[in-house]
């Protein structure tokens, strides 16, 4: 059978940018539709995420800040007819793990020494503009802000810069090398912090952003994954056949299937 006539739909879409009659000559995917991932903490970005995202890639380096963001974003979902669990929020986490605290710190220090200043300044450019004319070991000019579309990133860093009196070199080492929220230590220490964030309902999981590839991922799998599994915090095998299932998201039912289900229930 080439197609099921009862499931064929003519879209007849006529929008601002294109129009298409349809139908599409491919079968629907097992997970209903692709996972929609959103990033951006601006007011507009939060509304987009609350309305339509399945996963949010967040950036925050304090549990209090992440908790505030988490509650605010999930609190917006009801007005779009969505449940609290329809969205998974995953902050970026960069772990530097070792068998001992000293070993982990040595790994991090070595990576920081390899960071070229030009690379560091390039990483700051989008949020702070061109800082190449300022002394690297001088203070960060707080009047320097990048384009408005990434102001949320610059404003987030501004508070930390003021709190810690950071130099440009310290800032780019933190942004380019540390990646914002980073943890240096043993697997047990890193797992403790991950559990703390989860138990405080500051997030639903983590987006691991390794320092380097493939070593950073290999370290996580070798050290941290077994520790999380030992604590019952991470699966020992996949729970489903699709990404949607393994993220713990509800199955997606398109409007045509939903209409047939409602009709059958009447």
pTM reported for the whole predicted model: 0.82
Query: Rounded to an integer, what distance in angstroms lies between the CA atom of residue 55 and that of residue 35?
Result: 7
pLDDT class of 7 with cuts at 50, 70, 90: confident
pLDDT of 215 above 80: yes
**Per-residue pLDDT tens over the stretch 155-172:** 777 778 888 899 999 999
Average pLDDT over residues 14-40: 88
- Is pLDDT at 106 greater than 70 in this prediction? yes
Give the 3-state secondary structure of residue 136.
coil
Which of 75-89, 168-182, 240-254 shows the lowest per-residue confidence on average (mean pLDDT)? 168-182
Q: What is the pLDDT of residue 144?
A: 59
- CB burial of 212-240 (b: ≥16 within 10 Å; e: otherwise) equals eeeebeebbeebbbebbeeeeeeeeeeee
Judge contact between 6 and 228, C-beta under 8 A.
no
Supply the pLDDT for residue 148: 47
Lowest pLDDT segment from 9-18, 109-118, 142-151, 217-226:
142-151
- Helix H, strand E, coil C: the string for 182-196 is EEEECHHHHHHHHHH
At 110 the pLDDT is 94
At 203 the pLDDT is 97
pLDDT value of residue 200 = 97
Each residue of 197-210: pLDDT tens digit?
Answer: 999 999 999 999 99
> Has residue 26 got a pLDDT over 90?
no
- Return the pLDDT at 30: 86
Q: What percent of the chain has pLDDT over 70?
A: 95
Mean pLDDT over the full length of the chain = 90
Q: Higher pLDDT residue, 240 or 145?
A: 240
pLDDT bin (cut points 50, 70, 90) of residue 185 is: very high
d(CA 19, CA 90): 35
Instruction: Give the C-alpha separation, 82 to 79, whole Å.
Output: 7
Instruction: Report the C-alpha gap between 87 and 70 in whole angstroms.
Output: 10
């Amino acid at each position: 059978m080439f197609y099921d006539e009862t499931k064929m739909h003519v879209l007849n879409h006529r929008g601002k940018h294109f129009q298409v009659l349809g139908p599409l000559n491919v079968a629907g995917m097992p997970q209903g539709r692709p996972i929609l991932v959103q990033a951006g903490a601006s007011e507009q970005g939060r509304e987009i995420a609350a309305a339509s995202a399945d996963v949010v890639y967040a950036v925050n380096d304090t549990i209090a800040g992440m908790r505030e963001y988490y509650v605010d974003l999930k609190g917006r979902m009801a007005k779009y007819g969505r449940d609290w669990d329809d969205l998974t929020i995953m902050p970026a986490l960069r772990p530097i793990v070792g068998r001992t605290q000293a070993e982990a710190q040595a790994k991090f220090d070595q990576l920081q020494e390899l960071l070229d200043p030009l690379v560091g300044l390039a990483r700051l450019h989008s949020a702070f503009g061109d800082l190449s004319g300022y002394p690297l070991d001088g203070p960060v000019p707080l009047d320097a802000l990048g384009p408005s579309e990434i102001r949320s990133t610059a404003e987030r860093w501004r508070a930390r810069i003021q709190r810690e009196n950071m130099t440009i070199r310290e800032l780019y080492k933190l942004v380019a090398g540390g990646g914002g929220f980073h943890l240096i230590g043993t697997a047990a220490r890193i797992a403790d912090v991950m559990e703390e964030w989860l138990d405080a309902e500051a997030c639903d999981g983590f987006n691991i952003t390794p320092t380097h590839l493939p070593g950073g991922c290999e370290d996580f799998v070798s050290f941290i994954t077994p520790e999380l599994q030992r604590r019952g915090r991470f699966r020992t095998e996949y729970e489903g056949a699709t990404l949607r299932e393994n993220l713990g998201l509800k199955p997606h039912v398109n409007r045509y299937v939903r209409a047939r289900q409602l009709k059958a229930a009447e």
